[in-house]
């Protein structure tokens, strides 16, 4: 069914996520857990607080954008309990993700400024990392994978268009596993791969579903 407004909204969502990725790979990176020098991380965040908070605000917008995209995608599916479950998983992922991003954007810098003890700072850092990288991300990707598999089942003519999405969701789950195992190098690589592929796929499948409009 043609609905070009859905396509244009998806393009906007992809651009927001792409911008957040650029910020994470650039001005946010020296403050992230992937960097092993703890003191340097804290100093960097204090000295570049504007970029740090802007980056996390963009990731909050990206989280809302992901949920919006999944809601749009669900409109192409028959209303079944499996569709409801998949969307619920994505929605649940938003909760720990936004909590983590709030911790990183505002609570963590405030604690640094107050010269809080290292144990407290590390607790907040670790909690936020697991909330967003393991729990939130894992729920997002399980839900997204579920929606994509349902689309695969209900509209088999789209299989070629859905394959990149399946790969992207699986790579996202690999990111959650890497965080759980504290393999931060792998986590960074999988973040780059999964986010690049998924944002491109969002636009691709949106074009096929709502712009090309012959499904």
Give this prediction's pTM: 0.94
Angle at 140 between CA 187 and CA 68, to 5 degrees: 125
- Across the chain, mean pLDDT equals 95
pLDDT at 142: 97
Rounded Cα distance between 188 and 207, Å, is 29
Rounded Cα distance between 151 and 76, Å, is 8
pLDDT at 2: 66
pLDDT at 36: 85
The string of pLDDT tens digits covering residues 164-186 is 999 999 999 999 999 999 999 99
- Count the domains in the chain: 1
Domain that holds residue 96: 4-211
pLDDT at 143: 97
Rounded Cα distance between 63 and 146, Å, is 18
Q: Which two tokens stand for residue 167?
A: 């790969």
Average pLDDT over residues 55-73: 97
Q: Is the pLDDT of residue 215 over 50?
A: no
Q: Is the pLDDT of residue 3 over 90?
A: no
Average pLDDT over residues 9-18: 97
């Amino acid at each position: 069914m043609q609905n070009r407004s859905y396509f244009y909204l998806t393009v906007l969502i992809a651009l927001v996520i792409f911008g957040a990725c650029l910020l994470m790979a650039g001005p946010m990176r020296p403050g992230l857990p992937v960097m092993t020098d703890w003191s340097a991380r804290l100093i960097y965040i204090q000295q570049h607080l504007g970029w740090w908070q802007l980056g996390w605000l963009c990731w909050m917008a990206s989280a809302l954008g992901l949920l919006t995209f999944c809601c749009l995608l669900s409109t192409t599916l028959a209303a079944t309990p499996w569709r409801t479950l998949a969307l619920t998983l994505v929605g649940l992922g938003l909760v720990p993700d936004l909590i983590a991003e709030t911790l990183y954007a505002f609570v963590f810098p405030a604690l640094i400024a107050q010269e809080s003890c290292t144990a407290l700072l590390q607790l907040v850092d670790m909690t936020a990392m697991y909330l967003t990288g393991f729990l939130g991300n894992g729920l997002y990707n399980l839900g997204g994978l579920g929606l994509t598999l349902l689309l695969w089942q209900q509209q088999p003519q789209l299989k070629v268009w859905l394959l990149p999405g399946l790969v992207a969701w699986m790579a996202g789950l690999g990111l959650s596993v890497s965080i759980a195992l504290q393999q931060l190098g792998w986590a960074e690589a999988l973040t780059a791969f999964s986010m690049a592929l998924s944002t491109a796929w969002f636009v691709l499948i949106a074009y096929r579903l709502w712009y090309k409009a012959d499904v």
